[in-house]
Amino acid sequence: MKHPTRVNHPPEIQLPDDNRSLVAPIYQSVKFEFETVEETERGYRGERPGFYYSRTSNPTVRQLELLIAGLQGRDDALATSSGVAAMGHCLLALLKQGDHVLCFIETYGPTRYMIRRLFARFGVNHTMILIEDLAAAERILAERPTRLVIFESPTNPVTRIADIARLTAMARKHGALTVLDNTFAGLHNHGQYDIDLFVHSLTKFASGHGDVMGGAVIARLELIRAMRSDFITMGAVLDPHAAFLIVRGLRTYFVRRREQCASAMRIARFLVSHPQVSRVCYPGLESHPQHALAQVQMTDFGGIVTFDIRGGAEAGRRFADALQFFAKAASLGSTESLVMAPQMLRPRDLTPEQVQLSGISEGTIRLSIGLEDVDDLLTDLAQALEKAAG
């Protein structure tokens, strides 16, 4: 074997059956080989276990899919390259021309764009209402055949809580599938409810370190099987190395979540008592309009604290610029704390009336609480609020 051949056919290292790696290897390979053409054909037809091509399936990605499906209390999952890809693939796999979607003003901006603009071009209709308006939801579902009910809980950014039991019961009664973007609540929340499909941005709390992107759709086996071919063909698959990093991040998921939620509660209580703050949106606060519902539905209240600062957008700008330990950056759920000033939060695709209904004001600020010492964060918030006041 000459050297140019050798470097393309390196020695295989096989572990003995009783000798295993505690951390699964990264299968950073596009292609997988069977011993014979016959076995390759069997594998391609799904008649035997194994892997053929990483756009179809990959061992590292598959480990992640099965892990998150189990955490969410469902059978299976499909991982994608981002959370937006997960939602987009889900909608493409489930919708057709003439279908109707019920969605909500509080829906994540890119999801609103897909429903209202992208899918509208292909003949998909929608109705958009407030997440709290269950009477309107019941009326719409009764009057119009609906394919999907798409919602979030808590909502981004003002943490409104959907009444999941009532909403899913309505959808089931009228033959609609429910799709819950569960990114804020996390993989360990809401699995007890009759939700058909969970969508997650794994970029956020699952990865937890702000260094990798990914998304997933989690559902019962028959729904995943029905969507798998569409997902494979559309091609926004998760890279094996990204899947490995997310699996690694999930090892500390519950430790991070516990610390972030505890710090978020302390910060929310601090903000409630501050004269420069006019409103605090955190489901763990007794003053939150749906605190009792959040207590019933969730095992924790999350790491996102949203508040309104007195003085509006300019005060919000001064506040964000004065912070030392909060990065002015998008996303959430990372080990570092993040701030989104009013200028970064304003939804530009909604009418002024819809913006008002959404609960986002001129002074709304969103905090994603990281793993810094909470006393340092409180000190930082206090000095920034003082500077914002002028």
pLDDT 10s digits, 48-66: 999 999 999 999 999 999 9
Report the alpha-carbon distance of residue 78 to residue 233 in Å, rounded.
Answer: 13
At 142 the pLDDT is 98
- Please give the pLDDT value at position 363: 97
Please tell me the predicted confidence (pLDDT) of residue 10.
Answer: 86
Q: Measured between alpha carbons, how far is 275 from 180 in angstroms, rounded to an integer?
A: 36
Give me the pLDDT at residue 45, please: 87
342 vs 184, 221, 309, 315, CA distance in Å? 20, 41, 9, 9
- Summarize the confidence of residues 223-249 as an average pLDDT: 96
At 339-368, the pLDDT tens digits run 999 999 989 899 999 999 999 999 999 999
Average pLDDT value for residue range 272-296: 98
pLDDT value at position 13?
Answer: 87
Q: Which residue segments constitute the domains of the chain, with CATH numbers given? A: 37-250 (3.40.640.10), 253-388 (3.90.1150.10)
Output the pLDDT for position 113.
Answer: 97
**Would the pLDDT of 390 be above 90?**
no
CA 153 – CA 143 distance, rounded (Å)? 25
User: Global pTM?
Assistant: 0.95
Question: What is the spatial distance between Cα 23 and Cα 15, in angstroms, rounded to a whole number?
Answer: 13
pLDDT in tens, 137-157: 999 999 999 999 999 999 999
Average confidence score pLDDT of the chain: 96
